[in-house]
Amino acid sequence: MSDEFTGHDPYAINRKLPGADQHFDLVVVGAGPAGLAAALEGAALGASVLLVDEHPVAGAQMGNDVPYWFGGRMTGAVQTKDRMIEQVFMAQPLFEQAMEAGVELQLGVYAWGLWRNHANLAALPEPMLGLADEERSWTVGFKAIVLATGARDLALSFTGWDQPGVMGAQGLHALLTRYDAFAGRRIVILGTGDLAIATARLALGRGLEVAAMIETAAAPVGDLAEMAALKLAGVAVHCGSVLREAQGGIDGVRAAVIAPLGGGEAETIACDTICLAIDMVPAIELLDAAGGRIVTDPARGGHVPQARAGLALPGIFLAGDCAGLGLNEAQAAAEGRAAARRALGHDPDGAPLRPEPVTAVDRLAYREAWLRALVAASDDRVIVCQCEEVSRADLLDVQPPNYLERGEKMRARSLATLLEDGPPDQEQVKRLTRACMGVCQARRCREQVGMLLAMASNLPMAQAPRAGWRAPVRPVALGVLADWAEDQAMKDGWDVWFGIPTQWTPYRDIGTEREEQHRRALGGNMHL
């Protein structure tokens, strides 16, 4: 039998994955302050630079709250992507400067995958980034890449949160500053920290009404002078309070019902938008998918890259909010410049890009206070995962979706029984309940599901479990993701399964002459 082996497996991946479609010295993902500065610095150092940013994202992605929690509060203008590209370009003067400096700028382009050879993947000819627009996908190679992917919204659930008009601070910021396409008029903001203050100031500056800011703590947690100024500007500040419900109608939110923490008389505040500005979450998707190490750091925003900016993996650098929150724009830009210099081999022995902070704020404690208050103020039938319609009760009872039968034994299972077998595992709970399995790729629920699991397991928030990211880290249509110009090597060496000629021979035929006949006909190709 041994004679037939050639030392070559035609169906193995060896030499089948092609190199990248394009190459640049430096690729920068994200055109916020850090990414723009990185791209400009790279160009100034003479490198060929690609700067990609997904904004403007297509209206359909926005409808799925990708990448920010837009809460359905965008105007119809976002449906016209060409017009939006112009709008987004004009909104950022540095784009023109970058292009003049020779940066290849691509707007409206999603970065959906980042790959490098590491443990159990040695088949790539080079590290590469997966990109896509609405029509096609492609890959880009690089000498170095700077991820400046920013932060996304932290979403928490409450009664009525699953309707248009409930959104995140990042979504609101993008709609106001980049898209000029915000459809709301009168906003209630959750939170009184730096993010909430910045959100209120931005909204007022754009001529919107800020009806109220809500805070669970007894006093505002942000800068008191800023808060005083907001009050003077007519913003009602309700501390020691929690949102009980978002009331709505056909167009979504019409009012926020708030009440004192621990009970008391509710107050109804008319509004068309409820903006969660409790916190943001570093956008670690690409690094996580590439196998970068993710840790929990309460000061930097929860699940963050182990690397504190700068080099994260060979050839992969981080700058700005994606490496941890807490920088202002100037600091982020400085970090972007420094990351680009490092990425291109300049000042290799420099000091840490981001030193340890002198005082570390515990962002997770603030999130937890809000989570507990919102949980206490709502029924456990409230939906936690909007895509898959999983309620908090079903999540914590680890129950399957409604289209499956729940027999007696199933109903007797819960997170408590699962915890008898080990610590809470978000991936496991996700598979069983479907929470975090939807088309928003769990942008709306992954943090709150982790926090709820920690809370129900009596674990500190710093030990909340985490669900990982895998490519595509943006939803990309099959026909767009497809490699329609696939290499011949891939076509020729494709098999359904392993292409082992003996694997699919019917048992009764093993060792008979029929075996050889099947092998000739099937060629090892299985189909079942």
Partner 1 sequence: MSSNRGASVIVIGGGVTGLSAAWWLARSGVDVLVLDKGVVGWEASSRNGGGASHYQSPLFDEEQRMWPQMDALLGYPTEFQAERVIIAVTEKQLEHYHYIAGMCGDMGYRVDRIDAQQARQMVPMAGDNCLGGIHLRFGGHANPQRTVQAYAWATQDLGGRIIQHCPALSLTTAGGRVTGVVTPQGELGCDALVVAAGPQIAGLLAPLGIDVPLAAARAEMIVTEPAPLMQWGGVDGNGLYGRQTRRGNLAYGGGPHEWLLTEPGGPAARPSSPLARNLAKRVAEMLPGAAQLKVIRSWSGIIENTPDGRPIIDRLSHPDNVTVATLSGVGFGLSPASGHAIRDLVIDGKVSFTDIDKLALSRFAGLEPDWRARRGWEPLPGAEALRA
Residues numbered 210 to 269 that lie near partner 1 (CB under 8 A) are none
Cβ pair 343, 42 in contact under 8 A: yes
Q: Does 441 bind partner 1 (CB under 8 A)?
A: yes
Sign of the CA dihedral with 30 first, then 33, 34, and 37 last: positive
Name the one range near partner 1 by CB under 8 A: 114-122, 186-194, 223-231, 317-325. Answer: 114-122
Candidates 46, 380, 496, 516: give the one binding partner 1 (CB under 8 A): 496
**Phi, psi angles (nearest 5°) of residue 343:** -60, -30
401, burial (CB in 10 Å: exposed 0-12, middle 13-18, buried 19+)? middle
CA dihedral for 444, 454, 392, 256, sign (positive or negative): negative
Cα distance between residue 459 and residue 423, in whole Å: 9
Cβ closer to partner 1: 147 or 340? 147
Binding marks (x or -) toward partner 1, 374..393, rule CB under 8 A? --------------x-----
Is residue 497 within the footprint of partner 1 (CB under 8 A)?
A: yes
Indicate whether 152 belongs to the interface with partner 1 (CB under 8 A): no
Distance (Å, rounded) from C-alpha 95 to C-alpha 73? 26
Contact between 108 and partner 1 by CB under 8 A: the answer reads: no
CB-wise, 137 or 216, nearer to partner 1?
137
- Which CB sits closer to partner 1, 289 or 384? 289
Position 8 contacts partner 1 (CB under 8 A): yes
CA-closest candidate to residue 156, choices 377, 364, 363, 384? 384
Shortest Å, Cβ 121 to partner 1: 4
**Taking the complex as a whole, how short is the minimal distance between the CB of residue 436 and partner 1, in angstroms?**
10
C-alpha dihedral (311, 325, 388, 165), degrees to nearest 10: -140
Binding part of the chain for partner 1, among 234-242, 299-307, 372-380, 516-524 by CB under 8 A, reads: 516-524
| Residue of the chain from 228, 270, 365, 510 that contacts partner 1 (CB under 8 A) | 510
The reply to whether 459 sits near partner 1 by the rule CB under 8 A is no
The minimum distance between CB 69 and partner 1, in angstroms, equals: 17
CB atoms within 10 A of CB 232: 8
Q: What is the largest CA-CA distance in the chain?
A: 92
Q: Tokens 């112009």 map to which residue? A: 86
Distance between CA atoms of 52 and 488, rounded to whole angstroms? Answer: 30
| Nearest CA among 72, 71, 86 for reference residue 179 | 86
Q: In 3D, which of 334, 276, 278 has the Cα closest to residue 302?
A: 278
Quick one: 5 or 351, whose CB is closer to partner 1? 5
From the list 23-31, 169-177, 295-303, 515-523, the region that binds partner 1 by CB under 8 A is 515-523
Binding-site member from 139, 199, 241, 448 for partner 1 (CB under 8 A):
139
- 516 lies in the site for partner 1, by CB under 8 A: no
Question: Within 10 Å of residue 224's Cβ, how many Cβ atoms?
Answer: 11
512 backbone dihedrals φ, ψ, rounded to 5°: -105, 175
Neighbouring CB atoms inside 10 A of 409's CB total 7
Which residue in the set 94, 101, 124, 202 belongs to the binding site for partner 1 (CB under 8 A)? 124
Instruction: Identify the residue whose tokens are 């009764």.
Output: 508
Sketch the per residue contact string, 280 through 319, with partner 1: x for CB under 8 A, - otherwise: ---------x-x----------------------------
Nearer to partner 1, 160 or 472 (CB): 472
Detail the DSSP E strand segments found in 277-406.
280-282, 294-297, 302-305, 310-313, 316-318, 383-385, 390-391
In 10 A of CB 225, how many CB atoms? 8
Complex with partner 1: residue 206 or 411, whichever CB lies closer:
411
Distance CA 141, CA 21 (A): 7
* Residue 342 C-beta: closest distance to partner 1, Å: 23
Interface residue with partner 1 among 9, 126, 133, 180 (CB under 8 A) is 9
522 counts as binding partner 1 under rule CB under 8 A = yes
- Compare residues 2 and 359 and give the one whose CB is closer to partner 1: 2
- Site size for partner 1, by CB under 8 A? 91
Q: Do 294 and 305 form a contact (C-beta atoms < 8 A)? A: yes
Nearest approach in angstroms of CB 61 to partner 1 is 9
With binding defined as CB under 8 A, does residue 508 bind partner 1? yes
Residue 306 C-beta: closest distance to partner 1, Å = 14
Binding span for partner 1 by CB under 8 A among 32-40, 71-79, 275-283, 436-444: 436-444
Contact string (CB under 8 A) for partner 1, positions 10-29, x = contact? xxxxx-xx------------
- List 217, 439, 459, 462, residue binding partner 1 (CB under 8 A): 439
Residues 404 to 423 in contact with partner 1, rule: CB under 8 A: 404-410, 413, 420-422
* Least distance CB 9 / partner 1 (angstroms): 3
127 binds partner 1 (CB under 8 A): no
Is residue 528 within the footprint of partner 1 (CB under 8 A)? Answer: yes
- Shortest Cβ distance from residue 413 to partner 1 (Å)? 6
Q: Which stretch binds partner 1 (CB under 8 A): 242-250, 275-283, 445-453, 495-503?
A: 495-503
The two structure tokens encoding residue 74: 């965008």
Please report the beta strands in 165-300, taking only residues with DSSP state E, as ranges in sequence order.
166-168, 186-190, 209-214, 236-238, 241-249, 252-260, 267-270, 273-276, 280-282, 294-297
* DSSP letter, residue 30: -
What lies within 8 Å, CB to CB, of 250 at 6+ separation is none
Is 117 near partner 1 (CB under 8 A)?
A: yes
Residues 465-484 that bind partner 1 (CB under 8 A): 470-472, 475-479, 481-484
